[in-house]
Amino acid sequence: MTTIADLNDKWAAYAGPGGWNDPDMLEVGNGGMTYQEYRAHFSIWALAKVLLILAPTSYIFSLAFICAEFVISRYQSAPLLIGCDVRNLTAETLEILSNAEVIAINQGHSLGVQGRKVQASDVDGCRQVHCSCASDVDLIGLDLIRLLRVWAGPLSGNRLAVAFWNRCSKVATITASWEALGLESGIRVSVRDLWQHKLVAEDAVSSFSAGVDIHDCQLYIFTPFTVSRSVE
């Protein structure tokens, strides 16, 4: 999942109406990942701005085929396919897949801009020293080994969707600078947490920090009090 996200990010600048990147279907609910990893998966896929389609596993490929012409001709976007069996969802899986605020990030196609990685950092113990995928390092760059990531993308109303993604094996604090987000340093911003469904900062200036659990992702909406941003 992380490799697909990294490769999808590499081509973010080329995505938009008429040709969207396809990060493949969601694995949320299929087993093999923790709740935090599933939440990170859904957050990053939503930020990548792809069309949301729900279907039971047994029908998923036929549904995708039936919908293909509609998807390609109307939305020009890769389908965000829920790959688990929706007839047998656990409470945790349903909680993730039905988060209306996260889905709203995904549905914001009007600007035609895919979210992308804007900052990567590391601290002691949060750096991928050994990588078995040398070709991916060549494709993606050295930021592959920096495991504390900030992704962002513009929304309507001059807002930003911002994800703090901790790919480290320990809890870490991630800080997003206004410079990385394309905001002027003096801009005041309110911050809403889309997983906690509440405002977590009313007047942030120059940067915003949050603790993020192991392999988890916090997803926010940043609303500047004064319009000034350049994340595109």
pLDDT in tens, 71-83: 333 333 455 677 8
Q: Which two tokens stand for residue 133?
A: 């995928």
Q: Which residues of the chain have pLDDT under 70?
A: 11, 14-18, 20, 22, 49-80, 108-112, 124-125, 127-144, 226-232
Distance in angstroms (rounded) separating the CA atoms of residues 53 and 7: 22
Considering the domain boundaries, does residue 229 fall inside one?
no
User: What's residue 84's pLDDT?
Assistant: 82
Residues 97 and 142: beta-carbon distance below 8 Å: no
User: What's residue 155's pLDDT?
Assistant: 87
Residues above pLDDT 70, as percent of the chain: 67
Q: What is the pTM of this model?
A: 0.78
Domain count, the chain: 2
Considering the domain boundaries, does residue 230 fall inside one?
no
Domain boundary residue, one of 51, 79, 111: 111
**In the beta sheet, which residues pair with residue 146?**
127
User: What's residue 1's pLDDT?
Assistant: 76
pLDDT in tens, 128-161: 554 444 444 444 455 557 889 999 988 888 899 9
Domain boundary residue, one of 64, 80, 111: 111
Tell me which residue range forms the domain holding 87.
Answer: 2-111
